[in-house]
């Protein structure tokens, strides 16, 4: 979108020029001088105070002051035979000067410069809104060295150092609290409006604001690797990627600008040569056409909208990896969501133990915990934690083997045991009518089951010792979040779960999910997402960004929840919700749809305006004044329209 991208020809980019602060300052001064001179030329021309030659001299000075940066670009376009916006303006200004319209020529150059400056300002404003987040992180930190705290630049702080943060101060680096408790404002990272209570062992992020307490923090990431720095870096990369609409506009401009240049020359040559038209009249109309042809508003309409949309979401704790993904989420029709950690809290706990062959619950817990101690699965952690609460001692099973989506196996005291879900028990053929009845009763309550028993081994028949019932708390806002997704235009929300179908159905009914699919292995989730794509078209998959990576990759767009501080989740997903908040997805969809509507309006408005003025030009009812004012006005309008995205979206607007 800028001339700084060297992989595309100049005419495929915006007419903006943005080469750094020094260049921006000099061009701003040049435009101011050009404006004063062009205004003076117009005034003395209308009042007749000076001779036409003097007026022409003032107008020429205005053109040189406001257009010195156009000439090199115009010459480069001419040399490469690639007509661009700069060449069109220079040709139009020269043509107007040839027929004595010096004042209009100076106005063309000045107002075109204003349009360029406006585009540069809009782009910088949208980008600075994100870059300003970096300023939230302190430049220095109080670091513990040799038993006392000294102030050092954050660049000198290394992983493992201890830093102190006083009440009301910003936290300098990512880390883990060693001592102290406080409520921390995490809005710069997660978009949360309410401070989060933190205590020893909790993670904190650079740029977040410490509340009333005093904290000592063990640094876990250096300044260039903090979550905040990573967000800024990824957003900057995303802003450089072209969205589909932007690529269309670029291709359109590639052919549109040369075509209009040829048409303008034909308008200048054909009527005088074939129909006896006045050369000056048709040269003037050709110049008007060249100005009307300048696609400034058209070319800037998409990139400014995309940058504004990406920035607005980043400030709300939603990291979108590029304009293409922002457009995709704006067209979302179906959404697949993982159950654990998305619809539920992801912190399951044991609710009870039912005995089958075992005589005591401690025996069931001892076996289950010895196997589950090897696993990081939420259900396994719940079993191990409950065993500890019940003071049940256990060792570590030997020969541990994880069975993805089903359970695990291991050897304890020379015997082969298993822990797993209903499906796993069926595979071992150990489900009797009594066990099926027990399992059905537990699953009807929306609880997960962990079946514990001997697996068939060495000719021995398998048996079930007991069933552990585990429940996971629904997220407080899960029901309202699903309702918000439907209100945002998502036609079908499907919950995918490795739990049994009865449990999945129970939870889906509670929160208003359209369809629940249980008993799914990772491969089955991929198939479920593909089926959803066939039904709905554009679909997304919400998961943790790691375990659900295959299913997320199968969707049009992958969304990771609770990605703050989790590098793997940020890297894997197309969209990363820094806060563990399902409701953010609906907000993202709303803003994606607003972005698409603004882009479509801007493109249609820009093309429509060109068409109207083309007709007026051929009819002789348009002038250079009207053409350049319309072009500048259109540019200003599409920029202002795009920058509305930086305001917080609401459901009524979407």
Q: What angle do CA 493, 579, 240 make, to 5 degrees?
A: 90
What are residue 471's DSSP bridge partners? 349
φ/ψ bin of 340: left (φ > 0), alpha (ψ from -120 to 50), beta (otherwise): beta
Q: Which of 334, 400, 340, 322 is nearest to 367 (CA)?
A: 400
- Parallel, antiparallel, or unpaired for β 557-561 and 575-577? parallel
User: By three-state DSSP, how is residue 148 classified?
Assistant: strand
CA distances for 362 relative to 119, 143, 352, 393, 595, angstroms: 71, 49, 12, 9, 58
CA distances for 415 relative to 54, 393, 455, 456, 588, angstroms: 106, 18, 9, 10, 52
Q: Which of 537, 381, 511 is nearest to 446 (CA)?
A: 511
Q: For residues 641 and 334, give the distance between their C-alpha atoms in angstroms, rounded to a whole number.
A: 29
CA distances for 441 relative to 242, 333, 448, 472, angstroms: 54, 36, 11, 16
Supply the DSSP string of 33-100, one letter for each residue. Answer: HHHHHHHHHHHHHHHT-S-HHHHHHHHHHHHHHHHTTHHHHHHHHHHTT---HHHHHHHHHHHHHHTT
The DSSP code for 173 is: S
Residues 6+ apart with CB under 8 A from 137: 154, 170, 171, 172, 173, 206, 207, 223, 226, 228, 229
Q: For residues 77 and 26, give the distance between their C-alpha atoms in angstroms, rounded to a whole number.
A: 23
Q: For residues 570 and 563, give the distance between their C-alpha atoms in angstroms, rounded to a whole number.
A: 6
User: Which of 338, 472, 505, 631 is flagged as catalytic?
Assistant: 338
| Backbone phi and psi for residue 107, each to the nearest 5 degrees, phi listed first | -65, -40
Taking the chain, what is the end-to-end CA distance rounded to the nearest angstrom? 26
**Annotated catalytic, 338?**
yes
> Catalytic residue numbers?
338
């Amino acid at each position: 979108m800028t001339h700084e991208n060297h992989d595309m020809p100049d005419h495929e980019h915006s007419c903006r020029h943005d080469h750094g602060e020094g260049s921006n300052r000099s061009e701003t001064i040049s435009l101011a001088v050009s404006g004063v001179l062009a205004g003076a030329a117009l005034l003395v021309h209308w009042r007749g105070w000076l001779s036409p030659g003097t007026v022409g001299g003032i107008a020429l000075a205005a053109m040189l002051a406001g257009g010195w940066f156009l000439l090199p670009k115009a010459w480069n376009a001419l040399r490469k035979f690639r007509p661009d916006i700069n060449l069109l303006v220079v040709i139009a200004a020269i043509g107007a000067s040839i027929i004595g319209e010096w004042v209009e020529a100076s106005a063309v150059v000045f107002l075109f410069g204003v349009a360029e400056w406006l585009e540069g300002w809009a782009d910088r404003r949208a980008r600075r809104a994100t870059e300003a987040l970096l300023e939230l992180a302190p430049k220095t930190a109080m670091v513990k060295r040799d038993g006392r705290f000294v102030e050092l630049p954050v660049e000198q702080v290394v992983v493992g150092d201890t830093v102190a943060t006083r009440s009301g101060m910003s936290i300098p680096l990512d880390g883990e609290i060693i001592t102290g408790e406080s409520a921390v404002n995490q809005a710069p990272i997660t978009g949360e409006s309410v401070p989060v209570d933190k205590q020893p062992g909790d993670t904190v992020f650079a740029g977040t604001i410490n509340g009333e307490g005093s904290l000592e923090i063990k640094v876990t990431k250096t300044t260039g690797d903090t979550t905040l720095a990573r967000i800024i870096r990824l957003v900057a990369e995303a802003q450089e990627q072209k969205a589909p609409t932007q690529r269309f506009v670029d291709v359109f401009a590639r052919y549109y600008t040369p075509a209009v240049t040829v048409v303008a020359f034909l308008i200048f040559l054909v009527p005088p040569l074939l129909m006896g038209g006045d050369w000056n009249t048709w040269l003037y109309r050709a110049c008007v056409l060249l100005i009307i042809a300048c696609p400034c508003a058209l070319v800037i309409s998409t990139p400014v909208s995309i940058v504004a949309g990406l920035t607005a979401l980043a400030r709300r704790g939603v990291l979108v990896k590029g304009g293409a993904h922002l457009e995709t989420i704006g067209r979302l029709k179906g959404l697949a969501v993982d159950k654990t950690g998305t619809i539920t809290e992801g912190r399951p706990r044991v609710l009870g133990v039912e005995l089958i062959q075992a005589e005591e619950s401690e025996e069931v817990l001892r076996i289950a915990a010895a196997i589950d101690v090897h696993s990081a699965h939420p259900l396994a952690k719940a079993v191990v934690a409950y065993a500890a609460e019940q003071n049940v001692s256990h060792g570590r099973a030997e020969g541990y083997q994880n069975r993805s989506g089903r359970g695990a196996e291991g050897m304890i005291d020379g015997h082969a045991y298993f822990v797993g879900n209903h499906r796993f028990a069926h595979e071992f053929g150990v489900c009797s009518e009594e066990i099926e009845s027990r399992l059905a009763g537990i699953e009807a309550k929306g609880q997960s089951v962990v079946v514990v028993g001997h697996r068939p081994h060495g000719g021995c028949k398998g048996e079930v010792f007991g069933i552990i019932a585990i429940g996971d708390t629904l997220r407080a806002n899960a029901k309202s979040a699903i309702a918000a997704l439907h209100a945002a235009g998502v036609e079908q929300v499907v919950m995918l779960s490795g739990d049994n179908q009865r449990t999945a159905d129970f939870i889906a009914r509670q929160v208003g999910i359209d369809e629940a699919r249980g008993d799914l292995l990772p491969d089955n989730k991929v198939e479920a997402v593909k089926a959803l794509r066939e039904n709905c078209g554009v679909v997304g998959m919400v998961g943790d960004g790691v375990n659900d990576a295959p299913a997320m990759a199968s969707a049009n767009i992958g969304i990771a929840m609770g990605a703050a501080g989790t590098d793997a989740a940020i890297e894997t997903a197309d969209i990363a919700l820094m806060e563990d908040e399902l409701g953010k997805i609906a907000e993202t969809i709303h803003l994606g749809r607003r972005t698409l509507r603004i882009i479509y309006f801007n493109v249609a408005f820009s093309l429509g305006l060109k068409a109207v003025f083309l007709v007026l030009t051929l009819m002789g009812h348009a002038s250079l004044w009207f053409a350049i004012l319309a072009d500048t006005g259109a540019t200003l309008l599409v920029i202002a329209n795009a920058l509305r995205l930086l305001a917080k979206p609401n459901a009524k607007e979407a």
